[in-house]
Amino acid sequence: MSQIRSQSNARPRWLWWLVGAVAALVIGCTVVGLVRWRWLASNPLLGDEQENLAAAQIERIGRIQLPPSAAGIQARAGGFQDRFISIRFDIPPAELDAFLKATRYTPSIGPTTKLPFQSIAVDAPWWRPQDAQRFEAGQNFVDGISQSVLVDMTSAERYIVYVQTFET
């Protein structure tokens, strides 16, 4: 009789352990999901595009150093697993060489007839590299980072610089 009681008690105890483990797994997954959702909501570059970026964010994501006299700075960044940023600004021609030396992933640029990238969106009126009449461009891919630079030299007073950086 005591043997029958101990067998019947063993099953419920084992069953309670299983129910407890499943409950802990469900609670753990819920907590991880909530933390992930909260983290995605606080990081605007994940899964969505953003244009309201500070200069420091542009430099970090674009892996460039903006020249001190850069004006008309515009950028659009986004991504999820891969990050990207498209940057546009204008500078005096005298600052071009210093800027290009700071673009770690772009080799020396030269005259070309081929645009190194496509338009980012129809709704970005500031992104117009295809309008350049006279330009030089270059691109490179190193360590999972692709960077393209196009310098619109149509105006002799100020150059318009377009940079796209993709990080995979």
- Our separate counts of H helices and E strands in the chain read 3, 6
Over the chain (168 residues), what is each successive 10-residue block's mean pLDDT?
54 81 90 70 59 90 92 90 90 92 78 71 80 88 88 95 90
What global pTM score does this model have? Answer: 0.70
147, 151, 59, 162: which is closest to 106 by C-alpha? 147
Q: Would you state the structure tokens that stand for residue 47, as one six-digit string?
A: 């899964």
